[in-house]
Structure 1
């Protein structure tokens, strides 16, 4: 008995190999969060004070983690959707909704990437510093357009895989001599 179920025809046939990037970044960020939190707990326990910088770094890492995981979810086609609508109806309707979903995610994060560049530029230009440790704010904000562009690229890749799967399904249906 195989533990791998046969993929549904509406699902992309394979996930990108380059997802290792997101997977490793997730591991690294989670490890950093655990180490920072553990170090802060130890310092609080033994000295009754805490590292002030840990909260600022932890918040940044959690936001980065959410964006990295969002990129992996989009690439794996596991992003948030309303299953009642996404999985209901005919196969053609499901394929069209899958294409619409991928295109919408690509558009949304493309816009976020473009607009957040202005935020980074303003942080740099005005010399904004972080409230906790006083480092330049753009050190944190630069990652929003980077990760948003990554999510956009993943959504475009999902859209292209869906188009290829749709074309392959259409070719199978239109091919003479093939019974459905």
Structure 2
């Protein structure tokens, strides 16, 4: 999980850095030089979608998604594990469906191109496929091998101290 988190975080950090530099350049070009850069809006939109979807994988790999533990405090540990498994399986099912629908949408919109760069809309939809499928894989791995994550967390803690 740690490697997935680091890879997704690195991708996100690099993408955000590119987005910030590009936006700053676009502002300078438009308001100081009087020569707007037309393609920056399209690239910004593409990057934002990829940042959010790959960020979802990083959040899941590091257990940083928002959760509401309304009833966990009153359930026994066994019921908590069962509830966690049910929620995990439902989430995986939803993510797989979302990924499948995004792939189908990407196939039908692949011929459409963005106005300025002429990039296929498929690349926008692919971000959703990657994010949803990647998050589902991380969740499935955690359901299948919960003990492996606990061991790797304990090993990481020993290395830090």
TM-score (norm 2): 0.80
Would you say 1:155 and 2:139 are equivalent positions?
Answer: yes
Q: Is the 8 A contact 1:110 1:149 kept in 2?
A: yes
1:131 aligns with 2:110: no
Aligned-pair CA distance for 1:154: 0.9
Look up the match of 2:14: 28
- Which stretches in structure 2 are left out of the alignment for 5+ residues? 149-161
Out of 56, 69, 79, the position equivalent to 1:93 is 79
Q: Flag the structure with higher helix content.
A: 2
Other structure's SS at 2:138 match: helix
Shift of 1:119: 1.0
Instruction: Map 1:138-149 to 2 at 5 A.
Output: 138-149=122-133
Give the 3 Å change call, closer, same or farther, for CA 51–87 of structure 1 in structure 2: farther
Question: Match of 1:122?
Answer: 108
Q: CA deviation at 1:22?
A: 0.7
The match for 2:99 is 113
Give the TM-score, by structure 1 length: 0.72
The gaps in structure 1 that reach 5 residues or longer are 1-14, 166-180
Aligned length: 148
Matched with 1:58 is: 44
Contact 2:49 2:127 in 1 (8 A): no
Q: CA contact under 8 A between 1:52 and 1:133: conserved in structure 2?
A: no
Deviations 1:145-173 (A, max 9, x none): 122211111111121233x48xxxxxxxx
- Rounded to whole Å, the distance in 1 between the matches of 2:53 and 2:119 is 22
